[in-house]
Amino acid sequence: MAATTTTIAVGAGGLAVGAAVLGAIGLGAAAIGLLGRGGSRGGGRRRGGRRGGKRGRRQAEDQEETDRLERFLQVIRYEDVTGCALRLACELAGMEEDQMAIEELAIVDLLSPVTAPGQSLLPNSASADYKAALTAGSKGKNCAKEYPICPYNSTVLMNTVMNYLP
């Protein structure tokens, strides 16, 4: 995933909302940036492996991509003091795909799966936190109770994400 820089201008009235949803905006920016490039992390939809030396190179590229995503999620987790990015991930994972906007699908695709099959997550990793949020949402848990510091639901969060992005 190539680095994308997004500048977010916040007026005085939107400062409190912007700070509260900074993590959600970061997730949205990453997912929509990836979508705008026509790319996809592949989620669980990868084709069969390649043969020979290309397989090793592809595995190294996949690991590099996973490492970049982990570092990015660590930054978002650090900035997301209200847990709104986690609540957004949780609520989106609980939605039916055919009811989701392309931007919402892009966020879920960015986070799913956050590890390759057969790999485990480190317990303190940002990926583990987002995987837990996706799992909670897909199991129908109450995301507002799982992430009670975030005062906004996914509708408000996605509207905010879309308003702050270019």
**Mean pLDDT of all residues belonging to the chain:** 76
Q: What is the pLDDT of residues 43-72, one digit of tens each?
A: 443 334 444 567 777 777 777 877 888 888
> Residue 102: how many CB atoms within 10 A of its CB?
10
Mean pLDDT confidence for 14-42: 67
Is 60 exceeded by the pLDDT of residue 4? no
Dihedral of CA atoms 41, 106, 118, 69 in degrees, nearest 10, equals: 60
Q: How much is the pLDDT for 33?
A: 73
> Rounded CA gap, 142 and 125, in Å?
23
Instruction: Please tell me which residue, 160 or 165, carries the higher pLDDT value.
Output: 160
Report if pTM > 0.95. no
Confidence of residue 24 (pLDDT cuts 50, 70, 90): confident
The answer to whether the beta carbons of residues 17 and 160 sit under 8 Å apart is yes
Q: What is the pLDDT of residues 107-136, one digit of tens each?
A: 998 888 644 444 555 567 888 899 999 999
Q: Which of 105, 111, 116 shows the shortest CA–CA distance to 46?
A: 116
Show me where the domains of the chain are located: 13-43+56-164
Q: How much is the pLDDT for 58?
A: 77
Is 70 exceeded by the pLDDT of residue 16? no
Mean pLDDT confidence for 1-5: 40
